[in-house]
Amino acid sequence: MTLPQQVRLVEVGPRDGLQNEAQPISVADKVRLVDALSDAGLGYIEVGSFVSPKWVPQMAGSAEVFAQIRRQPGVTYAALAPNLRGFEDAVAAGVKEVAVFAAASESFSQRNINCSISDSLARFAPIMDAAKRQGIRVRGYVSCVLGCPYEGDVAPEQVALVARELYAMGCYEVSLGDTIGTGTAGATRRMFDVVGAQVPRDKLAGHFHDTYGQAMANLYASLLEGIAVFDSSIAGLGGCPYAKGASGNVATEDVLYLLNGLGIETGVDLERLLVAGQQICTVLGRPTGSRVAKARSAV
């Protein structure tokens, strides 16, 4: 399998990265982060979520963040929407692309969005209708594709079922999330093999968490499977509040370093990215989760 010449990076730091933070982060700091990420050349930034503030308090200010970011031409600024209410709030905030999120495991679906997988898909149907009418693109997520914190192993066939539904409903791309980071390279390849038989591979993305230190290996395994879109998070921030121990998305800096080394085009500038990562880590008062950033700051 030849590697793709280009990869599209979906920056999820301001959403997946920050949603797990217990300490309050100001709107100004979130805006500064998003602007620094677009300055680094990222073409897609997940800025926030329009979910219940009781469930994820950190995302409560998402509308204000959208109001204050410096929108650059050609950059997609997206948000999560769990239901029609979230979709409408997102549109009112000027959001032009949303993401809906389902799970491959029933237990995780219940804990994360308080409903079954099939109920979640039914909830997305009115979002898809409204989005179509309003010309808004919808991305889909499937969580727990390589393991569930409550159920353990997840069959690739189950992932394929949910991914196919999301694609059939009109999601232009489906991102497959190893929410708890237990996946390994072999399992990743098998999973893309099975899902890729149901959804075209150029409509699939990989979303890896580095909890077990496997994210980079899994990402490379996905490249070998012909996947060319990856979600990553600046400074390796992140986790999901409903997946205990799901610390750390794969760091954007580290992914970029890998892709640069392979000669794969992304349009992202590593030096500027490192500055963005440093800024948000200073705000959080925490060392970076990016190995590249750590190595570079030690020089």
Among Mg ion, ligand HMG, none, what binds residue 39 when CB lies within 5 to 8 Å by partner kind? none
Summarize as ranges the residues that interact with Mg ion (CB under 5 A): 16
Considering the complex, state which of residue 145 and residue 274 has its C-beta at the smaller distance from ligand HMG.
Answer: 145
Map residues 46-75 to x or -, x wherever contact with ligand HMG holds by CB under 6 A.
---xxxx-xxx-------------------
42 binds, among ligand HMG, Mg ion, none (CB under 5 to 8 A by kind): none
- Complex with ligand HMG: residue 112 or 214, whichever CB lies closer: 112
51 binds, among ligand HMG, Mg ion, none (CB under 5 to 8 A by kind): ligand HMG
Per-residue binder mask for ligand HMG (CB under 6 A), 83-112, x = binder: x-xx--x-----------x----------x
Q: Among residues 44, 77, 141, 230, which is the contact residue for ligand HMG, using CB under 6 A?
A: 141
Of 123, 118, 77, 116, the residue nearest 100 (C-alpha): 123
- Least CB distance from residue 204 to ligand HMG, whole Å? 14
54 vs 133 by CB, closer to ligand HMG: 54
Q: Provide the mask over 4-43, with x wherever binding to ligand HMG is found by CB under 6 A and - wherever it is not.
A: ------------x--x------------------------
Residue numbers annotated as active site: 240
